[in-house]
Amino acid sequence: AQKITQTQPGMFVQEKEAVTLDCTYDTSDQSYGLFWYKQPSSGEMIFLIYQGSYDEQNATEGRYSLNFQKARKSANLVISASQLGDSAMYFCAMRVDSGGGADGLTFGKGTHLIIQP
Amino acid sequence: EPEVTQTPSHQVTQMGQEVILRCVPISNHLYFYWYRQILGQKVEFLVSFYNNEISEKSEIFDDQFSVERPDGSNFTLKIRSTKLEDSAMYFCASSVTGYSNQPQHFGDGTRLSIL
Query: In order along chain B (115 residues), what is the average pLDDT of each group of 10 residues?
Result: 90 97 94 94 94 92 94 92 96 90 92 96
pLDDT tens readout for residues A22-37: 999 999 989 899 999 9
pLDDT value of residue B54: 93
Mean pLDDT of A58-70: 97
Average per-residue pLDDT for chain A:
94
The answer to whether the CB of B48 falls within 8 A of the CB of B28 is no
Cα–Cα distance for residue pair B47/B33, rounded to 1 Å: 6
Contact A18, A86 (CB under 8 A): no
Beta strand B10-13 with B110-114: parallel, antiparallel or unpaired?
parallel
Q: Which of A45, A49, A107 to mutate to test the interface with B (most CBs of B within 10 A)?
A: A45
CB contact under 8 A, B99 and A97: yes
Nearest residue, CB atoms, A102 vs list B41, B50, B108: B50
**pLDDT score recorded for residue B72:** 78
Tell me: pLDDT of A101 over 80: no
pLDDT band at A99 (very low <50, low <70, confident <90, very high): low
Which residues on chain B are in Cβ contact (under 8 Å) with A50?
101, 103
Q: Does residue A20 have a pLDDT over 80?
A: yes
Secondary structure of residue B61 in the 3-state scheme: coil
The chain B residue lying nearest A103, using CA atoms, is: B56
Q: Which residues pair with A5 in a beta bridge?
A: A24
